[in-house]
Amino acid sequence: MLTDIEIAQKAEMADIREVAAKIGATEDDIEMYGKYMAKMSDGFLNKIKDNKDGKLILVTAINPTPAGEGKTTVTLGLGDALRQMGKNAVVAMREPSLGPCFGIKGGAAGGGYAQAVPMEKLNLHFTGDFHAITSANNLLCAMLDNHLLQGNELGIDPKRIVIKRCLDMNDRALRNITIGLGKRLDGVVREDHFSITVATEVMAILCLAEDLEDLKARLGRIIVGYTYNNEPVTAADLKAVGAMTVLLKDAIRPNLIQSLENAPVFVHGGPFANIAHGCNSVRATKTALKCADYVVTEAGFGADLGAEKFLDIKCRVSGLRPDAIVLVSTIRALKYNGGIPKDELSKENVDALKAGICNLGKHIENLKKYGVPVVVTINKFLADTDAEVEAIREFVNDKGCKFTISEVWEHGGKGGQDLANAVLETIEEGKADYHPLYADDLSIKEKIEAIAKGIYGAGNVSYTQEASKAIEKIESMGYDKVPVCIAKTQYSLSDDPKLLGAPSGFEFNIREVYVSAGAGFVVAISGTIMTMPGLPKRPAAENIDINDEGQTVGLF
């Protein structure tokens, strides 16, 4: 059995100009990054702006488990399946972060015979978007600390700085640091912190901005800290916006690559869903909708995180409206939720599956609250049995959803035909009536509780004293009408990663709250979730190398 990287390296990729032609773009409409990657030009985006929008299909999943669910694999396979059926379909997905590539999770290019290529470049430096975001964020931090040293004209309180430096790497040692040590001209001594790049507000802004003008306005609203008089200080106050925008002027343009079957794939932006808002850029999704009749997009981690943020933040901000939702699960993951250890998941166990299927049921229930029809698909493994499949089929049918088997990992687009037909039938039925979970005019705590109780299943929500004070301050600043982005573990519906299945009635704790004024939402952090992940005892980086022929090995 070939590994993902071996399959990708054997792929017969088309010249990116040929791929661009499939969405109506000429060589003048793209900026090529080598032979197989490109950025779309602003001229192309303007040329297609009056095109009719296609139908939007959101792919999400149950809570991730060590068994893996294959959400990105299904996303790409569904796109290929639709094109095999003669449909004008395009995929829009997130860019991978370097952190998980060298840590534990892996990349975000799909798997098996449903991948985006060139896989190595996508999972590593790609077109440099994340480097640009890192540089723009850290420029702002550098200008802030320089301002403190050069007289602090704005009266910024060094103990009330909220902007963090960033790095696109899992490096827990940088979570809490002291800077400015040494001589006087080496800076003001203060406590500082790092986030991973994908958790930064600059990443969120890039993914929500409609255009360069909107990007610039949003960057200017970033709150970097507070004065001694408790007044917010912004990036605009520090006169950093122009230089930050220059660093991001290319990064804001969507990237175009291809699937293994040479279908067009937009890949742009990549906030994590457990610590950020979890969706690819609005710009890429809207561009895709103008280029195709069907756009398949995904949201990060499980539906309680990525899909909730797609539906409550991205759709609310952008006006996007999904026509169907695909909910991905595996039989192995459901048995894991039923209490079966990872090394026994290949054995048939219908009882364990029925014990863990409540997790799937909760996600179906949650997604229906948004008024969008749901198609459930099982990402099939070789060890799955007919009895297990039929148990899920019966459960899903009782929930009023279409049920399909996806075999795209093994067969590419051919293995996604049943899923594609079910999605097309669902869209043709025209039952989508999207609406967000909560209204804009609710208080911040009411919005948090709407998500915690309505989506996670919590019995009540508790707040640390610091979180409650922060909410009072945020609301007094006029940010009470914005949506809420909750940072929590991806492994459970609750804030405790060990609570599997569909827990209910638990206490959900909010320990920190802050406003991302440029992005336009309030962030509420729960449990022990960190915005700078750490590496495992044996990181994936130990297995990655380059061979004598210059090929990368060990990358998935």
- The stretch 391-410 carries a mean pLDDT of 96
Distances (CA, A) of 54 to 20, 311, 362: 17, 18, 29
3-state secondary structure 60-111: EECCCCCCCCCHHHHHHHHHHHHHHCCCCEEEEECCCCHHHHHCCCCCCCEE
Does the annotation count 73 as an active-site position?
yes
* Pair 556, 548: CB distance under 8 Å: no
pLDDT at 106: 62
Distances (CA, A) of 11 to 6, 95, 109, 113, 201: 9, 20, 14, 10, 36
165 flagged as catalytic:
no
Q: Could you read off the pLDDT of 322-379 as tens digits, one per residue?
A: 999 999 999 999 999 999 998 899 999 999 999 999 999 999 999 999 999 999 999 9
Catalytic status, residue 105 = yes
What is the rounded CA–CA span in Å between residue 107 and residue 123?
6
Q: Read out DSSP for 349-368?
A: -HHHHHHHTHHHHHHHHHHH
pLDDT of residue 104: 77
381 noted as active-site residue: yes
Give the tens place of pLDDT for each residue, 36-71.
999 999 999 999 999 999 999 999 999 988 767 789
Distances (CA, A) of 361 to 141, 354, 357: 45, 11, 6
Q: Is 314 designated active site?
A: no
Cβ distance 190 to 164 under 8 Å? no
| pLDDT for 105 | 61
- Is 409 assigned a catalytic role? yes
Mean local confidence (pLDDT), 447-469:
97
Q: In this prediction, what percent of the chain has a pLDDT beyond 90? A: 88
Of 289, 254, 287, the residue nearest 56 (C-alpha): 289
**Residue 110, strand partner residues:** 115
Q: What tens digit of pLDDT does each residue of 187-237 get? A: 999 999 999 999 999 999 999 999 999 999 999 999 999 999 999 999 999
Instruction: Give the predicted TM-score (pTM) of the model.
Output: 0.95
Check if 71 is active-site: yes
Whose tokens are 């590496």? That residue is: 535
Q: Can you spell out the DSSP letters for 465-524? A: HHHHHHHHHHHHTT-SSS-EEEE--SSSSSS-TT--S---S-EEEEEEEEEETTTTEEEE
Q: How many CB atoms lie within 10 A of CB 49?
A: 10
pLDDT of residue 107: 66
How far is Cα 213 from Cα 294, in angstroms, rounded to an integer? 28
Please tell me which residue in 60, 65, 72, 73 is annotated as part of the active site: 73
Q: State the catalytic residue, choosing from 22, 71, 335, 380.
A: 71
Tens of pLDDT, residues 97-125: 998 888 876 667 889 999 999 999 999 99
**Catalytic, out of 409, 506, 508, 556:** 409
CA distance 252 to 268: 8
Across residues 269-282, what is the average pLDDT?
Answer: 94
Q: What is the mean pLDDT of the chain?
A: 95
Q: Tokens for 329? A: 């699960």
Catalytic-labelled residue, pool 94, 314, 335, 488: 94
- What does the CA dihedral 279, 299, 415, 293 come to, rounded to 10 degrees? -50
**Catalytic-labelled residue, pool 301, 395, 506, 556:** 301
Q: Catalytic pick from 83, 105, 290, 447? A: 105
Annotated catalytic residue within 67, 136, 273, 288: 273
Other beta carbons within 10 Å of 14? 18
Per residue in 477-528, pLDDT (tens digit) is: 999 999 999 999 999 999 999 999 999 999 999 999 999 999 999 999 998 8
pLDDT in tens, 71-104: 999 999 999 999 999 999 999 999 999 988 888 7
Q: How far apart are CA 310 and CA 229, in angstroms?
A: 37
Query: 460 pairs with which residues across the strands?
Result: 507
